[in-house]
Amino acid sequence: MSQPLLEVTSLRKSFGALAVTNDVSLKVFSGQIHAIIGPNGAGKTTLISQLSGQLAPDSGEVRYDGETITHLDMAGRVRRGLARSFQLTRILPGLSVLENVAIAVQARTGSSFRFWQVAAQERALNDEAMACLTEVGLDAQARRLARTLSHGEKRQLEIAIALATKPRLLLLDEPLAGTGPEEAEILVALMLRLKSRVTMMLIEHDMSAVFQLADWISVLVYGEIVAGGTAEDIRNHPKVREAYLGEEEEGT
């Protein structure tokens, strides 16, 4: 098998006495959608935060494209092509949809422009931003203020902003959260389209979407990977059923 695009070895992170990620090891290969699932409080977002560079691990190693990036900050990882959607940048509600993406293009290209207003007027930036919007299906909404978008459209815009950084690996933290069935269907179709050129790691509670999208699934429970495999492997795995049944029982 080829070298993994992302390789995590013995990653640990504790807050006080609580081990939130406990000796986590996994591999993500180019062209995959790799899902991380688990009950609430399993440590999924903490894991993504460590992979994106937003949070430093206590120990362990993160390798990206053959390079150790464990101590690299978030901006350094973005420059190497590892982006985190939804927390990579915030949508600016008072700006247009196009301006939101143009600013991300400007940040990536290191433009000498001093103010975002100039970036919004720059044709080269806008052309690239429009291409990102077309890719996510928001080109017709380019001139609208971002605050007027539906919740699902804002998710699409966040992905367009991430795409403007030219990622090879996109970390998605619950992209379907808060969306209705039609919006979720649009986002699932978008992720399937993007798969041909962007590798993805996905945290998601919608198991129907996970089974539809993921080439490989890792199950995180109380900070530890307890199972890994294809959707078929995971669907009836006893530890997965136990983890989710446990979550349901706690909520009753």
Return the domain boundaries, the chain.
1-88+167-252, 95-164
Task: Report the number of secondary-structure helices (H) and strands (E) in the chain.
Answer: 10, 10
CATH superfamily of 1-88+167-252: P-loop containing nucleotide triphosphate hydrolases (3.40.50.300)
pLDDT of residue 239: 72
- Residues 221 and 38: beta-carbon distance below 8 Å: yes
pLDDT of residue 237: 84
The answer, yes or no, to whether residue 88 has pLDDT greater than 60, is no
Distance CA 43, CA 80 (A): 25
Distance CA 139, CA 137 (A): 6
For 121-172, write each residue's pLDDT tens digit.
577 888 999 999 999 999 999 999 999 999 899 999 999 999 999 999 999 9
For 23-36, write each residue's pLDDT tens digit.
999 999 999 999 99
- Predicted TM-score (pTM) of the model is 0.87
CA distances from 201 to 63, 166, 170 (A): 15, 16, 6
pLDDT of residue 183: 95
Mean pLDDT score of the chain? 87
